[in-house]
């Protein structure tokens, strides 16, 4: 059963309709990647699920309850980790717990989250001394520390160098296997989408509709050199290439 749902969601900014009756469901533990051209409404969709924005029409629900504001069981990772400069790494991760509960216990949880992203030794460092990759690991740990049921990621690795990106994709893949949160991963990187997601949703230009909703049934960690993997990447590229290219695709599944 789908736990996280957008139903016929409408969102416009002034005259500009960005989401036009868009529906999308994510099941418990499911990893869904969303790709689409710049400006097509990916971040808008993510912000709605995060409770950071409200639709003009339609419904955003979790377990049937309307999402009205950010929830403790949903966490967000943005492209920039936005760390607090006056707190050390451990302190920044503890921010994810919202200052509630026992402090010693919070430290333990934060350290555990840092270990998950391979950053336990950096607990006492200040943000200004971190590389971009390390800072983004802290951002991920801060999101993980409260063990979210749904982890929303908006181009989380796009500012990183190629090697760091692959490392962090691997970390996310493992975290997902171990903790099993549902994921919504917004990305411009088709290889990343194919490597991490159970389903990839391709949005068309605003007002965004779904042009392809493709299930990927390959074991993790995925072999990016395999023919099956590369066929999926090629298929995503065709769907992104525009309506003409998508219509040439005989196996295209249009979302209902
Ligand atoms: N708060 C806002 N006020 C006005 N316009 C907005 C607002 N938020 C988004 N938009 C507009 O809505 C459209 C979709 O924006 P959105 O950020 O969702 O796109 P995106 O798919 O995430 O793009 P990108 O890939 O560049 O991040 C854009 O034209 C953007 O300018
Ligand atoms: Mg965006």
Choose between 64 and 99: higher pLDDT: 64
Q: How many domains does the chain have?
A: 2
Q: Is 59 exposed, middle or buried (0-12, 13-18, 19+ CB in 10 A)?
A: middle
Choose between 244 and 183: higher pLDDT: 183
| pLDDT cut 90: percent of the chain above it | 83
pLDDT over 80 (residue 251): no
pLDDT over 70 (residue 73): yes
Digit-coded pLDDT (tens) for 161-182: 999 999 999 999 999 888 889 9
User: Does residue 4 lie within any of the structural domains?
Assistant: no
What is the number of other CB atoms lying within 10 angstroms of the CB of residue 7? 15
DSSP letter assigned to residue 174: H
Give CA–CA dist 50/2, Å, rounded: 16
Mean pLDDT computed over every residue of the chain: 91
Contact yes or no for 135/164 (Cβ under 8 A): no
Residues 6+ apart with CB under 8 A from 137: 114, 117, 118, 119, 168, 171
The atom of ligand 1 lying closest to the CA of 46 is: 18
User: Does residue 23 lie within any of the structural domains?
Assistant: yes
Q: Which residue blocks in the chain are alpha helix, DSSP H?
A: 42-50, 89-95, 103-116, 132-144, 162-179, 190-196, 227-240, 243-247
Considering the domain architecture, whether residues 167 and 106 belong to the same structural domain is answered as no
| Residue 41: C-alpha distances to residues 66, 170, 249 (Å) | 21, 27, 24
* 81 alpha-carbon distance from chain centroid: 14
User: Does residue 3 lie within any of the structural domains?
Assistant: no
What pLDDT band is residue 98 in, cutting at 50, 70 and 90? confident
Digit-coded pLDDT (tens) for 196-247: 999 999 998 867 689 999 999 999 999 999 999 999 999 999 999 854 444 4
The atom of ligand 1 lying closest to the CA of 186 is: 22
| Nearest-CA residue for atom 29 of ligand 1 | 39
The pLDDT of residue 252: 46
Contact yes or no for 207/40 (Cβ under 8 A): no
Considering the domain architecture, whether residues 228 and 182 belong to the same structural domain is answered as yes
Considering the domain architecture, whether residues 68 and 113 belong to the same structural domain is answered as no
| Nearest-CA residue for atom 30 of ligand 1 | 39
């Amino acid at each position: 059963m789908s736990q996280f749902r957008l139903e016929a969601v409408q969102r416009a900014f002034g005259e500009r309709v960005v989401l036009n009756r868009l529906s999308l469901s994510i099941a418990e533990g499911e990893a869904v990647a969303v790709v689409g051209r710049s400006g097509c409404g990916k971040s808008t969709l993510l912000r709605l699920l995060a409770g950071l924005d409200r639709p003009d029409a339609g419904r955003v629900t979790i377990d049937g309850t309307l999402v009205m504001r950010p929830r403790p069981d949903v966490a967000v990772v943005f492209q920039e980790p936005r760390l607090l400069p006056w707190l050390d790494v451990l302190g920044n991760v503890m921010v994810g717990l919202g200052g509630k509960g026992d402090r010693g216990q919070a430290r333990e949880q934060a350290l555990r989250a840092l270990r998950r992203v391979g950053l336990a030794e950096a607990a006492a460092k200040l943000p200004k001394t971190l590389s971009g990759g390390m800072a983004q690991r802290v951002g991920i740990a801060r999101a993980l520390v409260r063990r979210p049921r749904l982890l929303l990621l908006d181009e989380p690795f796009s500012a990183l160098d190629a090697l760091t990106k692959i490392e962090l994709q691997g970390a996310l893949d493992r975290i997902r296997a171990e903790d099993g949160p549902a994921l919504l991963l917004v990305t411009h990187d088709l290889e990343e989408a194919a490597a991490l997601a159970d389903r990839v949703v391709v949005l068309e230009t605003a007002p965004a509709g779904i042009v392809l909703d493709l299930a990927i049934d390959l074991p993790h960690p995925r072999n990016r050199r395999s023919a099956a993997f590369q066929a999926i990447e090629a298929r995503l590229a065709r769907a992104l290439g525009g309506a003409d290219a998508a219509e040439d695709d005989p196996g295209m599944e249009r979302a209902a």
